Each structure stands twice: as structure tokens, then as C-alpha cells.
């Protein structure tokens, strides 16, 4: 069962398998040159997390995740321009970011400090090495196909993370944007922030869609430099929940204010990139 789920995830998420014979020899070679070293890095850092994480109360897992992200970004020759880190508050809070590409998480992992938890697709938990790390480090598996009971369990897991004083990274669009534009936000992240009475920190990301869109097999020619492989991340000021509102209204208010903030920051990043 686990092997079947893993194979299904690889087939659905990695475009090389859906493109099949449409890919030429050069494209296949490029894919191997990019993702071969990536897989080795993932196996290495995940092994550190799995072996040493339990012995260090999770410190080794946090170290491994950050260094995996930075090493993977360097290996793919991705430059990252991040600002607004001073806006991150103390204690539990939700990080809400737009979702452009499979490589978003390594970009964010390279710049975000601390031991943040990630709301990850449950299918990722079945991937060797990566999934072992995600489970051990306490990241939250999400499966939107399992119905109301499973959704409630995920919400409760989100709230526990926040009440433990940790940050929770969410992509509230639910899945990657097909065209780079920001889609409607789902409620889960904002419900958890409303229940835990924690702020939401808006994060805008621009550049990963151009590097690796939803139907792309890799990040393109790595001989490109400068702006062609630059990803920008902007972290906005925390959006506090309005405690005078009821829980449902508080969540909806957080969702709308966060959406507005992320769209505004993203528009500014697009203008900066094209300027």
C-alpha cells in the first residue's frame, strides 16, 4: 500500500513521468543532473534527522532541514532575496504563503528561521528518507480527500502546533498555482489561528513558477544566472486576530486580510522583477 502511494505521488507530481516520450535526450540528461544530486542530499540530510533527531530533542532535525534547503538551493543555482524577517513574532503563529512550485518549500526552508512545522501532503510522508524526516520532525500530514473527520483531525493538529508556541507554514491555496497567479484561500490555516488566537504572517514568493511551473520536469538550464534564477521572498507584518469576533468570523476576517496582504506584496514583487 505504501509503495503504491509513493509511486502514485511520483507519477502525479514529477512531470518527467507525465511527459514521457515528449522529452528529448537533452531534457532527460538535465533532469538527472538536477535531481540526482538533489536525491542524494535529501537522503543524507534526512538520515541525519532520523538518526540524531531523537537524541537531540529535534535540534538535529531542524539543523538538517535548514541545511538541506540551503544546499539544495545552491545545487540548483537558485538565488534567494528575502526581506522582512524582522516581522516574525515570538511564539506560535501561522506563516501563510502563496504556492507557485514544487521548489517553494526548499526556498522558504532556506530563509525561515526556527523550527517551523509544515502542512505537507500526506503522500510526501510515504517518500523514503524525506517522509521519514517529515514524520519524525512533527510536520503535519494533510489529505484533503479523506472527508470531514480527517479535516477536523488536521485542524486539531494545526492548533496543537500553535499552542506549543511553534510556527506553522501553510500554503492556503491548497495546491500549486497553474499560472503563477494567487488563487482563492482555503479556511484551515485561518481557523487554526482563530482558535489558538495567534497571528498570521503573510509571505509572498515570486520567481519559482518561472523556474519550475506545475508541468515542468526541472528548473531549466542552470547555465542561466542573475535575475533568471532569482527568487524573491517578502515577509509582511503579523495580522492579529480580532478577538471581539466569533470564531468563524475571526477566521474569515484573517483569511481576507491575509489574502489582501499577500496579493499586494506579490504585485510589488512582480513589478520589481519586471522593472
Choice between 134 and 18, residue whose per-residue pLDDT is larger:
134
- Please tell me the predicted confidence (pLDDT) of residue 8: 59
Strand, helix or coil for residue 81: strand
- Please tell me the predicted confidence (pLDDT) of residue 156: 92
Q: How many CA atoms lie within 13 A of 73 on its CB side?
A: 23
Q: Any idea where the domains of the chain sit in the sequence? A: 2-274
- Residue 140 forms beta bridges with which residues? 119
Mean pLDDT, residues 61-74 taken together? 96
Judge whether residue 14 has pLDDT over 60.
no
- Please tell me the predicted confidence (pLDDT) of residue 77: 93
Mean pLDDT, residues 205-225 taken together? 87
**Class of residue 26 by CB neighbours under 10 A (exposed 0-12, middle 13-18, buried 19+):** exposed
**Exposure b/e, 151-165, CB count within 10 A at least 16 = b:** beebbebbbbbbeee
* CATH class label, 2-274: alpha beta
Mean pLDDT, residues 34-44 taken together? 94
The residues, ordered by sequence, that sit 6+ positions from 224 with a Cβ below 8 Å of its Cβ are 77
pLDDT digits (tens, 9 = 90+) for 174-208: 889 989 899 999 999 999 999 999 999 999 999 99
Judge whether residue 87 has pLDDT over 70.
yes
Judge whether residue 262 has pLDDT over 90.
yes
Query: Mean of the per-residue pLDDT values for the chain?
Result: 89
- Please tell me the predicted confidence (pLDDT) of residue 244: 95
- Please tell me the predicted confidence (pLDDT) of residue 99: 96
- Please tell me the predicted confidence (pLDDT) of residue 51: 95
Q: Which of the four pLDDT bands, split at 50, 70 and 90, describes residue 6?
A: low
Mean pLDDT, residues 217-232 taken together? 82
Kind of pairing between the strands at 140-142 and 200-206: unpaired
pLDDT digits (tens, 9 = 90+) for 134-164: 998 999 888 766 677 878 888 999 999 999 9
Q: What's the pTM?
A: 0.90
Amino acid at each position: 500500500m505504501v509503495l503504491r502511494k509513493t509511486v502514485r505521488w511520483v507519477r502525479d507530481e514529477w512531470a518527467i513521468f507525465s511527459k514521457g516520450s515528449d522529452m528529448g535526450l537533452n531534457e532527460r540528461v538535465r533532469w538527472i543532473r538536477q535531481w540526482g544530486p538533489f536525491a542524494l542530499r535529501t537522503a543524507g540530510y534526512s538520515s541525519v534527522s532520523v538518526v540524531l533527531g531523537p537524541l537531540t530533542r529535534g535540534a538535529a532535525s531542524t539543523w538538517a532541514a535548514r541545511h538541506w534547503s540551503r544546499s539544495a538551493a545552491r545545487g540548483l543555482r537558485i538565488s534567494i532575496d528575502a526581506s522582512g524577517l524582522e516581522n516574525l513574532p515570538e511564539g506560535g503563529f501561522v506563516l501563510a504563503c502563496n504556492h507557485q512550485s514544487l521548489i517553494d518549500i526548499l526556498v522558504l526552508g532556506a530563509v525561515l528561521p526556527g523550527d517551523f512545522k509544515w502542512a505537507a501532503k500526506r503522500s510526501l510522508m510515504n517518500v523514503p528518507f524525506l517522509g521519514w524526516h517529515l514524520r519524525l520532525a512533527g510536520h503535519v500530514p494533510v489529505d484533503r480527500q479523506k472527508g470531514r473527520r480527517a479535516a477536523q483531525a488536521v485542524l486539531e493538529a494545526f492548533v496543537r502546533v500553535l499552542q506549543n508556541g511553534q510556527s506553522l507554514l501553510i500554503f492556503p491555496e491548497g495546491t500549486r498555482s497553474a499560472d503563477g497567479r494567487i488563487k482563492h484561500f482555503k479556511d484551515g490555516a485561518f481557523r487554526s489561528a482563530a482558535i489558538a488566537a495567534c497571528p498570521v504572517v503573510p509571505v509572498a514568493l515570486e520567481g519559482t513558477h518561472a523556474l519550475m511551473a506545475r508541468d515542468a520536469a526541472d528548473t531549466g538550464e542552470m547555465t542561466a544566472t542573475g535575475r533568471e534564477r532569482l527568487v524573491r521572498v517578502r515577509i509582511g507584518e503579523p495580522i492579529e486576530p480580532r478577538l471581539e469576533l466569533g470564531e468563524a468570523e475571526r477566521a474569515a476576517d484573517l483569511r481576507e486580510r491575509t489574502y489582501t496582504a499577500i496579493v499586494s506584496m506579490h504585485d510589488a514583487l512582480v513589478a520589481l522583477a519586471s522593472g
